[in-house]
Amino acid sequence: MAEAAASHLNPLARDFLTRLPQAPVPGKQLHRTESGAVVGDWFGFELSSAFQPIVDAANGAVVGREAFLRSHDPDEHGLSPWTLFSAAAEDARLIALDRLARTVHLLNALAAGNDVPLFLNVHGRLLAAVGDDHGRAFRRVVDALGVQPDSIVIETPPEASAQPDLLAFVLRNYRANGFRVAVNVESAAQWQTIANTVWPQFVKVDRRKLGSGVEAHERLKWLAALREDARIIVTHVEEPAPELAADHVLLQGYAYGHPVGATAFAQEQQTGNG
């Protein structure tokens, strides 16, 4: 992964990845594995990445990828991200963990040669914990790696959409720092409620909230029409669904690809480019 991926990297990212230690080092939060994947250290817990494609409903082309956190304790037992974040009781620690996770994802995507927008989640508690300029600290990381900020989509969790004023403030900050943004909504009705308050480029809605057949198709068209500058992403699409094929609609779910670890993702990229 490391050698094959190096040629596509910009000089800043290549230099940063080259200087990462090849094994855990006390006092260092990042290292690379033998396969070249980037791993973060969080008080003895290993943080790694998995990536799932987002596809165009019209032609199946991959137009984005969402990064998911994977973590293991010192005994190699898998931990859910929810468990890990719940243990970060203090706001400062939560903020540091959230930013470390996004940095790990970005580095793994760069090393693998990802060439589509990268969707990165922020934890719900982070929205209230950061008091001023959301995105400023992560923008410094992005700039240091020579990455264009608009190639990154910052994604807020579903609970954030229940607080439209706070959500609007947060999204304005991320957009002011050059990032694109996505929101998750609990229902079509919720998006209708906040569509004139918040201004994301992407709106995610669970497939299970759309109904089936003609009902799903019509509801999806209505959702897309609420704001033509915001693309709808239907998530949890676990089997092919022709009724979801509509203009400007994107799809995400097992029907179009499972999340794969950083090493497997890099191998897929090399095969696709080779």
Give the model confidence (pLDDT) of 170-210 as tens digits: 899 999 999 999 999 998 889 989 988 999 999 999 999 88
| Mean pLDDT score across all residues of the chain | 87
d(CA 182, CA 153): 7
- Structure-token pair, residue 140: 């410094």
Three-state secondary structure call for residue 100: helix
Three-state secondary structure call for residue 206: strand
Three-state secondary structure call for residue 55: strand
Q: Is the pTM of this model over 0.75?
A: yes
Q: Are strands 30-32 and 38-42 parallel, antiparallel or unpaired?
A: antiparallel
- Structure-token pair, residue 118: 């990268």
pLDDT for residue 20 is more than 60: yes
d(CA 84, CA 167): 24
How many helices and strands, by DSSP H and E, does the chain display? 10, 12
Bigger pLDDT: 214 vs 61: 61
Provide the pLDDT for residue 267: 85
- Could you tell me the pLDDT band of residue 71, with boundaries at 50, 70 and 90? confident
d(CA 128, CA 92): 12
Alpha-helical runs (H) found in 177-252: 188-194, 213-226
- Could you tell me the pLDDT band of residue 131, with boundaries at 50, 70 and 90? low
- Could you tell me the pLDDT band of residue 85, with boundaries at 50, 70 and 90? low
Question: Looking at 80-84, 138-142, 262-266, which range is the least confident one?
Answer: 80-84
Give the model confidence (pLDDT) of 230-266 as tens digits: 999 999 999 988 888 877 899 999 999 999 998 888 8
- Structure-token pair, residue 271: 């095969």
Provide the pLDDT for residue 273: 59
d(CA 120, CA 135): 12
Phi-psi map region of 146: left, alpha, beta (phi>0 left; psi -120 to 50 alpha): left
